[in-house]
Each structure stands twice: as C-alpha cells, then as structure tokens.
Structure 1
C-alpha cells in the first residue's frame, strides 16, 4: 500500500437500455483522500462501483494497484447477521476457529494469510471507536444505523485493501457518529474516495473531483477550495456567456443592416435598368447576378450566425444547470411575538424517559434547529407538534397554518404533478402566476407538469415546499425533518436559499451543521442527557 492508485483510461459505461451514462473518463486517483461530488443522477454511484470492480466498463478500462474495499450507501443488517459479517471479516474469523479446532484445510490457511491476530485487532478497534459493548458475535439487528456503518468502516480499515470507496457514508448518521467516522478516516493511510454531499466530511478531503455531463474535473483542495474555485469559474462563465450573447446580437444587427443595404442597391439597380430601357436579357442577367450575390450574402450571414450561436451554446454549457432560486415571499400575518405553537407539560411517546417531558413555546419568527443523537425523539417531537401523533399527556396548541414535511415527503401525491397540487392548495392565485412561482424555484414547465414521483429528491422537496409556502393561507409554521438527506450539493444550496427567504416560524431537525449554520437560526433545541435544552443562537 506504498503507492496505491486507481486509474480510468477512456472508460465508458452504458446502461442496460443502451444509454451512455459515463463517457470516455480518464482520471487517476492516488493516496490523496478524494471527495467525489456531482448532481444526483449523473452517475456517481455507478462510477464508484466501476472503480471498485463491481461493474465492468463498456469501453476503456479501470486499472487498480491492489484490492479495493467498496462500502455502499445502505449497510444491510439481515436477520442473524453478526458484527463480524458487517465488517466482512466472518470468513477469516471462521477459518481461524476451524484451525483452532484442528483444521488443516489449505483453504482455511489461505483465508487467514498473515492475519492471525485478527480477533484481537477487531475487538481493540471496536473499543477504540467507542463500540466496546459489541463483539464479533453480536447480532447486527441490535445495532443502530450509525453503529452498523461504523462497524462496516472498521472492517474496511482492518482489510488489506489499497483503496476504500465509500458511497454517502454519513447518510442518517447523527452528529457524534459523523465525527467518529471523520476521526476513523483520518487514520486511513491508503487511497480513499468518498462519494458525499456532506460538506463537513468533504472539508477533510485533500481534493475534490466533480463528475458532470462533461466528464471528471479535479480541484486540488478541500471543499472550501472547491467551492471558491467553482464560484470563480461560474462568474467567468457568466461573463463569457454575456459577452457571447452581446456579440451575437451585435453581429445579427450588423448583418441585418448589410442585407438591407444590399436589397436597397438591388432595388435601385432594377429601377435604373428599367428607366434606361435596357434589353430584357441584360435585365435578366443583372437579376441573376443580384440573386447570386444575395444568396452568397445570406450564406455568409447564416454561417456567421451559426458560429456565434455555437459560441453562446458553449458558454451556456459552462454554467451550472441549477438556476438561482427566487422565493416570492408569502404574506404572513403572524407577528414576531405571536405564538404559533405551545406545548404544555407534554409527554412524548417512544422516547427515553429523560427526554419524555417538554414545555415549549414557538413564536411567529423563531427559527429553531433541533439536534441530538439518533433515537432521542427529535422526529417524534416534530410529529407531536404537527399533530401527526398524540402525546401521552399534556396539551399541544398549534397554528392551523402549519406544514410538516417528513423525510418521505408524504404530503406530495407521487401520481400528480406539482402544478396541479399547487393549484389545489391555492385557488386564489391565477395558475399562470403559480407556474411562474415554480419556475423561479427551479421547476420549469416540463418538471412542473411531471408526476412528482418521477422528480429527483431535490425537485420533490422544492415542490413540497412550494405547496406549503404558496398555499392559501401560506404556512406560518414550517416543520422539516432531515430535509437535506439524499440531496446533492446544488439542491442543498437551493434549499438553503429558499429557507433563508422564508419569514415564518421554522423548526428543522438535521445533523448537518453546515446546513443549520446557513439557516440563520435564532435558537437551538438540543436533546441531551439532562433533557431538552433551548438556547438562543
């Protein structure tokens, strides 16, 4: 593992229907820890599996210096599976047990190799990771999602792999688990590729590689470096596009004037020829020359116009596909001090005893971020506030103009399009104006008329927010449960832009600290060992 590398050599990948997803990619990955980013649907997970050897290139090739350990987004916790299985160490541990019992099978010795101390190393790694309550035989179904991911990662780090490839490893992890994962990755000395939209994790990378429809592009720094470089590129691309459009307009105006001058000369020549009583054959030849000259001019005009339009198209391709988000501010009647939610001595179901009781008042323009470990009752609290479930005791009073968006966006009908659902939510505004609202948040005419079940995660979230914010009356209280899960970076930025412009009360559950920091929170509500704690930001 002295010089680990993965290399793509003109690699392409076609989907089963023949569509080319990845085309002629050439890139080399070395010991630098690399974050792989890109829009959802562009093929990041397919590329990860291609690099890991789980998929074969349709053309070109992928070269590896040694074994690659690939960790997919979902870590399976099947019934009867153990910690050893999650860590992918069970075959070697089983072989060690058979050898201890007297086996002389060469296959067992091949499985063990030089890892005779693997049981001790696994237990030590579990203890170092704060998972000392687990052992190799612990059933996987007893583990939380965060614990399962961390065990799988421990197995990766105990493997003999040259490279680790992790696909969205922080999805559904709480803040402590995310920090533990970052700490584990810092210890890895081999090659590392992380597919992620987690900006805190990407900040720890040595470089960022972006996958787009134009291919792979490497940025030699962490996420902050990438974001700054990408912003500078976009500013430059916008200037190039503006210049190309201006040049096209200027040239078209010049060509139009040139054509008009020629037409005037032709008309004048025809009038003078008739006035001079020229022979018909001479007038005919003059007309033919004039038409030929006009044809050549028109050909030059068409060629020049096509050349400049191609320059405009090329300049436009350099800009990101996502467009600026402009939220038409709903007219909210809730004053800053008006109570939109009050919880009086409420007892929450399904939560640890120390977090069961809560008193809470939320006013018209408070922006609260709810944080805490998984299983502490954050989502349950949102459901009680929204009226989705009843408390065990106590009283809940809420503003009727309350919108709750869970992780599955259950408020959307997947079989109906966004514009139809928005019209149903607001009969007081003209449909054309509602279509404009959707376009301004990135849902153009085509996407606004597609069944929402066919939209991407980011597009579905925009549609759900639009149905809440542009309803009649608009939501004066917005409850969001992990809205950033499964969103790519561009969609996250669009969501942040929308929520930053929202003027009502906002309550958000999230483990993404960067996301929470960008929402201009007024308060943090933290679930901890001492119960619920509300603090001003």
Structure 2
C-alpha cells in the first residue's frame, strides 16, 4: 500500500482499566504519513494508546482503524530465549524452504513458501549488519544476545516485514550509544507512518510533528521537539498574560460589586427615610419601594453575573498555564571541597571478570559521565562502588558517604508511605521535617502519605532521589544508573533541576547524551574491554555517523 494511503484513526475511543481507572473518554486521533513523536506526562496514557492501536488492548467503546499492517515495538520487550534469530525475524520457514530446494527437493510447497523472496537471507543479514548485529548469526538464539541487542533484533524484524504503520514505545531505553545511533538512522530512513513514544531528545529531533497528549486530548505541533518547545513557550507566555488580564478583571468586578452594594444600601436608607416621614401617599411609596427592590435585584444580579463571568475566564486562563513545577532544594551538607579524595580504585577486577587496571581516583565535586556499550560493566562498577558487590580483587575504596540510585529503583519499601521510607534513611528527622523536605520534591500534603508501591515510574524515581538526598549522613558521592529511563520530558527536567542543587561528587551512567550534557559534566569516562579511561565526549563511540 502506498505511504500516502496509510493512517491511524481513533474515533470516540474510551478505555478504562479493570479497577475502573479511566484512561480515555471519547478520545479522537488521526495520524497521517510521516514521523510523529507522541509525548506527555508519565501516566497520561501514551503506552496504553499504542497498545490500543496495535490491538493488544480492546477499547470499551469507540474504534481504532488503521490502513495498512502494523509493526509494534513495546517498551518492555520480552523474547523467548530459545527462539533463533531467524525465527524472530520471521524468515525461518523461507530459509528452510531455500535450503531444501538447494538440496534438490523441488516440491511445490517449498517454492510456494519462498514466493518471490529469493534473497531473504541476504536482506536479513544486510539489515542485521546495518543495525550493528552482524555478529548475530541467523541460527543463534536470543538467549545469547544482550537486552539492547534483543531490542534491535525485534526492530530488524519489523523493518524486514515492512509494515505500513510502525509503533515504537521508548525504543532507546536500553540501547547504548552505538545502538541508539543505528536506531536513529533507521528512523531517518523510515517511510510511511511512524509513531514513537519517547523522552529521547535526539530521537524526537528526527520527527516531523509532535503530538502532545494531555488531559485525554492531543494537541499537534509541526516540526521537531525544539520547534514544539519554542511554540509552547510562546503559548505559555500568552497564557500567563491572559491570567494577569483575567485577575485584573476579577479585581475590578469585585470592586464594582462592592460599590453596587454601597449604592444599594444608600438607596435602601433613603427609601426607608421617605417611608418613615410619610411624605407621599402610602400606595405611591409602596409602588416606589417595589420598583426600587426590583431594580436593586437586577443591579445586584448584573454585577454578580459579571464577577462570575470574570472568575470563569480566570479559571480558563489558569487552566491554560501548565503546572510543571520544578524541584527546588538546597543541600549544603552534600558539599565536597575541591581536591578532597572521594574514591580510589587500584587494580580492580570486578565480578563477571571485568577489569579496571591501574589506579583511578575521583577528587572534589567532580561530575562524571560513565559511558560504554551494553554489557561493558557500568552497573557492576557502580554497585561495587556502592558497596553492594565486593571486588574479586584489588581495592575499591570510597572515602565519603554514598548514595546509589539503581536502574530498577528498588530502594523504597513498597508497603510504606513516602514519609516512612525517608524516615528509614533519616531516622533522626521529625515527621514534620520530612514532610517539609518532601514538599520540595513535589510530594506535598497527602501525596507524602502515598504508599511507594502506588507511584508511577517518574514519581518513584523522584521519591527514591528524595530518600537518598535527605538521608543522614547526606551523600557526598551520588551515583545514578540510567536515571532517565521511562521518565517523561518534564521528569527529566525535574531531575536535572534537582541535581543542580547537589554539591557533592556525581557519577552518572547513561546513554542519554542530551541529559548528560545538561548536568555540567566535568569528566567523561569510557568503560570497555580495555578498562576505564578518560575520553573526549566528541569522540565517543556512537556520537558520530554510524558505518554499516
């Protein structure tokens, strides 16, 4: 089907989870050819929408219509580890038929299986090579591949199938710098309809339009993420001006209503005086009193209605201003003085055989980016520095209090409230003191009483960071392992603002280059088979064009 005919349409779509939580109500959407970046706050329904379009979920009412077949890459990909690569790619049957024909078996069923796809093996191997999976032979099993390689393998299967509509849900989450560049190239070359849910800035700079999902509705913006942010800034500036205008109108209407009450009170006093002095016949005065009361009622209703209208306009103006609060904290107890020794590694061999030969140290409030391929050992190194793993040999000595934010965010006790969780890390703090500090992390009032197990991914990361940074003693070395995975763009901004207040040494393992660049990194370290070494970020593997 030609690309110009492909599209996605959601008509009066409604969906709720079994517990009654409503996600969409009479939702409308129409997506045409080109690359669309679907963004929105954590929990707004982005992944649910992709699953509805892909047919993995059934709407409670309304319908989803697509023109052309669909390829879907889920956020949490699980592949059967016993499957061979050619089975995942969907070419196993054709390979078997080709092998039978080459061996002299000319039964018609083999030719029917192959069809016109005589070069299927060559195309499959070429595509694997383009995605950096040239070493993944068609006969290998997925159990021999890393998590990032499995994501690329599933993407290769989708590209090989050439669907008219391609849906990608956070496709770069578990990809290293090499793999991300290859995925970016695949997105650049895509024709037809592509919808990606992502917080990856580099990926969103490659889309043709942004679909902003908020409060159950989509607002469209032409261009990439940068164009969206510029347009949104203009919108928000105008919305804030409208709030100021509406606030002034409400104040004016309140003054006019108050003046009206004073005027009516004067009229009532004058009418009563006329009644008391009986200067006119009783019937005439009675008629005048009735007319005055009716007039006063209309006058009061008019000004009350004007105030109500002004307050309604103010409410609409306030609703148009986005509430993207930033984390604002001060952490003076985390300060590390320049030159102070923070940690020392000497001839370390980590678990799983990873070696960091020679001596390496970290001094002062350095901000270190730890990069490397998937499987290079970044998480193992951080866990060793955090004291969770003992080195197989050598010395790994940390000289200051440490806080470690793991990828799986399992620091919190799901059965405890946020206040109770923070109290585990700061037993000397009062409940009121903990609440006051949690408010700076945007957990205000009753939000601080929520059980950790009920939090979304972005909320959980924020709560875990709060627990670590509010600990006693305060961490002077903070280590983060892929902290932006599954965070929306607002969550990434909030995380960045929180780390701006941190005055200790910082080590961040991440494949998210824009996020790392926003942290004021002072030192870039590459961990690979040669060990741990300083590297120029401009020369990082995967930072430039990818060769096939």
Q: In the alignment, what sits opposite 1:489?
A: 489
**How far is 1:268 from its partner?**
4.3
TM alignment of 1:2-401, pairs within 5 A: 2=2, 3-17=4-18, 20-90=22-92, 92-93=94-95, 101=105, 103-105=107-109, 112-276=114-278, 292-352=294-354, 355-357=355-357, 359-401=359-401
Map Cα deviations across residues 404-463 of structure 1 (whole Å, 9 max, x no partner): 111122221222222333345446666445434333332232322111211111111222
Distance 2:516 2:284 in 1: 82
Q: Would the aligned equivalents of 1:126 and 1:132 in 2 still touch at CA under 8 Å?
A: yes
**How far is 1:96 from its partner?**
5.5
* Alignment CA distance shift 1:379-1:190 (3 Å): same
Distance 1:451 1:498 in 2: 22
Number of matched residues?
533
**How far is 1:23 from its partner?**
3.7
RMSD, matched Cα: 2.9
Q: Would the aligned equivalents of 2:75 and 2:169 in 1 still touch at CA under 8 Å?
A: yes
Map Cα deviations across residues 143-173 of structure 1 (whole Å, 9 max, x no partner): 1112111111111111142121111111111
**How far is 1:372 from its partner?**
0.5
Q: In the alignment, what sits opposite 1:422?
A: 422
Distance 1:214 1:312 in 2: 22
Distance 1:430 1:250 in 2: 45
Q: In the alignment, what sits opposite 1:453?
A: 453
Distance 2:420 2:479 in 1: 23
Answer yes or no: is 1:479 the counterpart of 2:474.
Answer: no
**140-149 vs 337-346, which deviates more?**
337-346
SS in 1 for 2:514: helix
Gap runs ≥5 in structure 1: none
SS in 1 for 2:213: strand
* Alignment CA distance shift 1:530-1:425 (3 Å): closer
* Alignment CA distance shift 1:159-1:276 (3 Å): same
SS in 1 for 2:83: coil
Q: Would the aligned equivalents of 2:260 and 2:300 in 1 still touch at CA under 8 Å?
A: no
Answer yes or no: is 1:518 the counterpart of 2:507.
Answer: no
* Alignment CA distance shift 1:375-1:228 (3 Å): same
Distance 1:127 1:422 in 2: 48
SS in 2 for 1:335: coil
**How far is 1:492 from its partner?**
0.8
**TM-score in terms of structure 1 length:** 0.90
* Alignment CA distance shift 1:102-1:19 (3 Å): farther
Greater RCO (Cα-Cα under 8 Å, separation 6 or more): 2
SS in 1 for 2:251: helix
**68-77 vs 263-272, which deviates more?**
263-272
Distance 1:517 1:160 in 2: 35
SS in 2 for 1:350: helix
Distance 2:115 2:140 in 1: 25
Q: In the alignment, what sits opposite 2:543?
A: none
